[in-house]
Amino acid sequence: MRRRAPLSRQASEAILLSHMELTRVQLLAENVGSRAVEFDSVRANPLSIANVVTAFASAPHVTLLGSILLSTLLIGPRRVFRVVLRSGLPGWIARDFRLRHMR
C-alpha cells in the first residue's frame, strides 16, 4: 500500500477552493433551472385559480379593491361607500404618503 505524499498548504487550499467553486456553479445552475421551470408553468396557464390568488396576495391595492367590490355585493353600495370614505380611503392615502416621504 502506497501512502500519498502530503500536499502543501497552497495545493490543499487550491483544491478546496476549486471544490467550493464547483459547488457554487452547480447550485447556481439548479437555481436558474428551477426558476425557468416555475416561469414556464406560470406562463402556460395564466388564468388559473392559483395565479389569481397569487396576484391578489402580492398586490395590496388589488386586494383592497377586490374586498370593496365583494362587500358592495354583500352589504350594499351605500354602506360600503360610507365605510370606505370614512376609514379606508384616508388610511390608504396616509400610508402611501408616508411610504413615499420615508424614502
Q: What is the pLDDT of residues 38-93, one digit of tens each?
A: 665 555 566 677 777 777 667 777 777 888 888 889 998 888 888 878 877 788 78
- Is pLDDT above 60 for 1? no
Confidence of residue 18 (pLDDT cuts 50, 70, 90): very high
Residue 31 parent element (H or E): helix 9-44
What is the residue type of 50?
Answer: A
In contact, 81 and 90? CB cutoff 8 Å: no
Identity of the residue numbered 31:
N
